[in-house]
């Protein structure tokens, strides 16, 4: 159904601020604050314009408190905007129309969304009722997804007795049970070991290839972004600072490369060189003597984003 | 939205509450049986002491047996008509942002916990009432069993009223942190207003009339007084009417608070 829209997600000047009160240090200020509180407005997300086409996988990256989760909450209808509007699948998210909610899914990596005291199978049966699904089909879908995620053996164990990795697999099945058109994934691999991260990454990658939902993914693990997302949104201090492809971002950034070299009769050296100056550096190096060994390493994507955000936060 | 989908979904919530509560057997037994049994025994002993101290055969026109029956039923009925478990849960969910996982589902938060409350109360009340039933049958304390179904109907109808108040209090958590203290204050007031503390007919006539007009008395005094023969059918019908008005008032208030609260909600914690 999402192919009816040119853009599945569209926002115009979408922003959110909230009021909080200033709490100065000390007991006297606590007493003062009891009757006189200074309210301050904090902008969590500045006016944001965004257009996302059907089937796109968008990686949303930023530091803690940058506004990533606020954007996801606005798009999933959890909170209301203070400026502008958003349209997702033609719906205004904050209206929380049941027909809209049936077509989206929000997976919060840091929160349990299934029921703690019952087994995942019981949770899925309840979800099938909530989403008004054919119960037989839903049950068979659970088995299919559990097989792919290799977690069939824990379906009948209460959620509270499962490990973090198993719980996350269960949450993923729960969020995909109704085959959403739009998936909001907030840190789906957080806290998991490398093997579990890889399993979930692989699963999500093949799922989106097969089913083609539109996905917005936030993660602190850059492997999640590079292996899943075609488009990258970088957010810093509540503002979008980059919107484009991952390779485009790398090309835009002045990359630093690490050159490790050994010249005859000299100790091994290591230097960081800007990519644009690499040729010049190599010419200089060859004139210094006979090169016995040389290794040029690309900077990690995570480091690139990190330095980009650092630079941005100094500018903002 | 079809009625079948609504019914199936809410039956699912109802069953969820039963399954979740039966998961913790010791807690269930303490909550449903041990705590109200101990409270009722203490209250019955207290009434025996009062009668002995007063050296009277009747107080307020009723003999000791009527007070013992009242104390016994009142403790268990009060347990059935109080809702702090889900009220606390709702407040905590809003405070900590764990409500987010529910708000993105195509369901109504009001019905989600109402159905769970009904499920939880059905299982705990069904189990806990075994105690007063056995005691009454073995001691012949005054109870009109023919009135039992009507009294229980009012008890369960009253739950809708109690839940409407809970929903209003929980909605305040959108605006204030730590509104749990309001729940405790409300429960203390209910202790007196429902007639759980002592039968409302012991109050001065003017106060009794006002209390009876309020829906709160249908939480304990009206069903228990009706069951034990202190009051008649007219008081029961009045109970149904005042509870209906109470439900309407708090439902409208709850809907307004919820709508405003959702606007103010920042979804902190997730």
Provide the shortest C-alpha distance from residue A89 to chain B (in Å).
Answer: 15
- Residue range B210-242, pLDDT digits in tens: 999 999 999 999 999 999 999 999 999 999 999
Whether the CB of B1 is below 8 Å from some CB of chain A: the reply is: yes
Enumerate chain A positions whose Cβ falls within 8 A of a Cβ in B. 18, 44, 69, 73, 76-80, 96, 98-99, 101-102, 104-106, 108, 110-113, 115, 117-118, 122, 125-127, 129-132, 158, 186
CB contact under 8 A, A129 and B12: yes
Q: Nearest-CA neighbor of A10 among A70, A78, A89?
A: A89
Which domain, by its residues, includes B110?
3-264
From A51's Cα to the closest Cα of chain B, the distance in A is 22
Q: How far is residue B71's CA from residue B69's CA, in Å, rounded to a whole number?
A: 6
How many A-B residue pairs are in contact by the CB < 8 A criterion?
A: 80
**Secondary structure of B161-218 in HEC code, one letter for each residue:** HHHHHHHHHHHHCCCCCCCHHHHHHHHHHHHHHCCCCCCHHHCCHHHHHHHHHCHHHH
| Domains of chain B: total | 1
Give per-residue pLDDT as tens, B1-17: 689 999 999 999 999 99
ipTM of the complex: 0.88
pLDDT tens figures, B17-48: 999 999 889 999 999 999 999 999 999 999 99
- Rounded Cα distance between B30 and A11, Å, is 53
Contacts of B267 in chain A (CB under 8 A): 73, 78-79
- Given a cut of 70, whether residue A316 has pLDDT beyond it is no
Domains and CATH numbers, chain A: 1-24+41-103+180-190+206-253 (3.40.50.300), 111-179 (no CATH), 254-315 (no CATH)
Residue B20 belongs to some domain of the structure: yes
Q: Where would I find the H helices in A131-254?
A: 135-148, 164-176, 194-211, 222-228, 246-252
pTM for the full model? Answer: 0.87
Q: Among B2, B20, B101, select the one facing A111 at the smallest CB separation.
A: B101
Kindly state whether B25 is in contact with chain A, defined as any CB-CB distance less than 8 angstroms.
no
Q: Cα(B112)–Cα(B96) distance, rounded to whole angstroms?
A: 18
Q: B5 vs A132: CB contact, 8 Å cut-off?
A: yes
**Distance (Å, whole) CA A112 – CA A91:** 26
Cross-chain Cβ contact A77/B104 below 8 Å: yes
For residues A79 and B264, what is the distance between their CA atoms, to the nearest angstrom? 8
d(CA B268, CA A20): 12
Q: What is the pLDDT of residues B66-110, one digit of tens each?
A: 999 999 999 999 999 999 899 999 999 999 989 999 999 999 999
| Per-residue pLDDT, A2 | 44
Question: Which is more confident, A150 or A124?
Answer: A124
What does chain A come to in residues? 316
CA angle B117, B122, B126 (to 5 degrees): 150
Classify burial at B94, counting beta carbons within 10 Å of its beta carbon; exposed 0-12, middle 13-18, buried 19 or more: buried
Chain B residues with beta carbon closer than 8 angstroms to that of A115: 16, 20
| Chain A residues inside the 8 Å CB shell of B270 | 69, 108, 110-111, 186
CB contact under 8 A, B104 and A69: no
- Predicted confidence at residue A222, as pLDDT, reads 77
The candidate with the shortest Cα–Cα distance to B82, out of B265, B219, B256, B231, is B219
Report the percentage of chain B scoring pLDDT > 90. Answer: 88
**Cα–Cα dist B212/B242, whole Å:** 9
Question: Using CB atoms, which residue from A102, A113, A126 is nearest to B16?
Answer: A126
Q: Which of A111, A117, A131 sits opposite B23 (nearest CB)?
A: A117
Assign A302 a pLDDT band (cuts: 50, 70, 90).
Answer: low
**Chain A: nearest CA to B154, how far in angstroms?**
30
CA nearest to A72 within chain B: B270
- Tell me whether B232 touches chain A (CB under 8 Å): no
Residue contact B104–A101, C-beta within 8 A: yes
Burial environment of residue B54 by CB neighbours within 10 A (0 to 12, 13 to 18, 19 or more): exposed
Question: Do B63 and B142 form a contact (C-beta atoms < 8 A)?
Answer: no
Checking if the pLDDT of A255 tops 70, the result is: no
Q: What is the dihedral of CA B239, B243, B244, B248, to 10 degrees?
A: 160
User: Mean of the per-residue pLDDT values for chain A?
Assistant: 87
Q: Is residue B270 part of a domain?
A: no
pLDDT band for position A300 (50/70/90)?
Answer: low
Return the pLDDT at A299. 66
Residue B106 touches partner A, C-beta closer than 8 Å? yes
pLDDT of residue A64: 79
Taking an 8 Å cut-off on Cβ atoms, the answer to whether B106 and A102 are in contact is yes
Give B204→chain A minimum CA distance, Å.
Answer: 40
| pLDDT value at B245 more than 60 | yes
> pLDDT tens for residues A215-233?
999 987 777 888 888 899 9
B269 within domain boundaries: no
CA–CA separation, A96 and A75 (whole Å): 10
């Amino acid at each position: 159904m999402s192919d009816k829209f040119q853009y599945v997600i569209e926002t115009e000047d979408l922003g959110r601020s909230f009021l909080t009160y200033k709490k100065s240090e000390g007991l006297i200020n606590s007493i003062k604050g009891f009757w006189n509180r200074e309210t301050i407005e904090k902008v969590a997300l500045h006016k944001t314009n965004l257009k996302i086409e059907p089937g796109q996988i968008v990686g949303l990256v930023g530091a803690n408190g940058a506004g990533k989760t606020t954007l996801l909450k606005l798009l999933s209808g959890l909170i209301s905007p203070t400026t502008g509007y958003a349209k997702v699948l033609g719906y205004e998210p904050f209206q929380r129309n049941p027909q809209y909610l049936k077509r989206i899914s929000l997976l919060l990596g840091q929160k349990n969304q299934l029921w703690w005291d019952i087994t995942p199978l019981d949770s899925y049966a309840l979800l099938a009722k909530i989403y008004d699904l054919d119960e037989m089909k839903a049950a068979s879908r659970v088995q299919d997804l559990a097989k792919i995620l290799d977690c069939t053996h824990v379906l009948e164990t209460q959620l509270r007795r499962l490990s973090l990795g198993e719980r996350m697999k269960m949450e993923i099945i729960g969020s995909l049970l109704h085959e959403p058109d739009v998936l909001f994934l907030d840190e789906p691999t957080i806290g998991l070991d490398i093997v579990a991260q890889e399993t979930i990454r692989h699963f999500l990658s093949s799922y989106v290839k097969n089913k083609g939902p539109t996905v917005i993914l936030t993660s602190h693990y850059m492997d999640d972004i590079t292996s899943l997302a075609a488009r990258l949104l970088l957010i810093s201090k509540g503002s979008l600072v980059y919107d484009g492809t991952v390779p485009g971002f790398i090309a835009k950034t002045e990359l630093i490369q690490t050159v490790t070299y050994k010249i005859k009769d000299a100790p091994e050296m290591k230097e960081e060189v800007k990519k644009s100056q690499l040729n010049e550096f190599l010419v200089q190096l060859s004139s210094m003597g006979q090169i016995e060994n040389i290794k040029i390493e690309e900077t990690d994507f995570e480091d690139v984003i990190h330095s980009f955000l650092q630079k941005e936060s100094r500018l903002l | 939205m079809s009625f079948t989908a609504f019914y199936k979904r809410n039956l699912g919530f109802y069953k969820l509450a039963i399954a979740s509560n039966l998961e913790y057997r010791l807690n269930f037994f303490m909550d449903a049986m041990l705590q109200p049994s101990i409270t009722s025994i203490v209250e019955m002993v207290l009434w025996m002491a009062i009668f002995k101290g007063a050296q009277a055969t009747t107080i307020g026109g009723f003999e000791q047996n009527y007070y013992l029956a009242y104390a016994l039923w009142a403790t268990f009925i009060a347990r059935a008509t109080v809702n702090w478990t889900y009220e606390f849960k709702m407040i905590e969910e809003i405070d900590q942002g764990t409500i987010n996982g529910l708000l993105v589902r195509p369901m109504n938060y009001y019905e989600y916990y109402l159905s769970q409350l009904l499920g939880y109360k059905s299982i705990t009340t069904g189990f806990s009432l075994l105690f007063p039933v056995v005691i009454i049958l073995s001691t012949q304390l005054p109870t009109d069993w023919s009135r039992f179904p009507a009294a229980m109907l009012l008890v369960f109808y009253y739950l809708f009223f109690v839940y409407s108040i809970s929903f209003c209090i929980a909605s305040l958590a959108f605006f204030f942190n730590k509104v749990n203290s309001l729940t405790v204050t409300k429960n203390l007031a209910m202790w007196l207003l429902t007639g759980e503390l002592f039968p409302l007919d012991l109050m001065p006539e003017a106060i009794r009339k006002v209390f009876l007009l309020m829906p709160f008395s249908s939480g304990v005094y009206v069903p228990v007084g009706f069951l034990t023969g202190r009051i008649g059918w007219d008081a029961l019908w009045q109970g149904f009417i005042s509870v209906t008005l109470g439900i309407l008032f708090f439902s409208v208030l709850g809907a307004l608070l919820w709508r405003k609260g959702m606007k103010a909600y920042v979804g902190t914690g997730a």
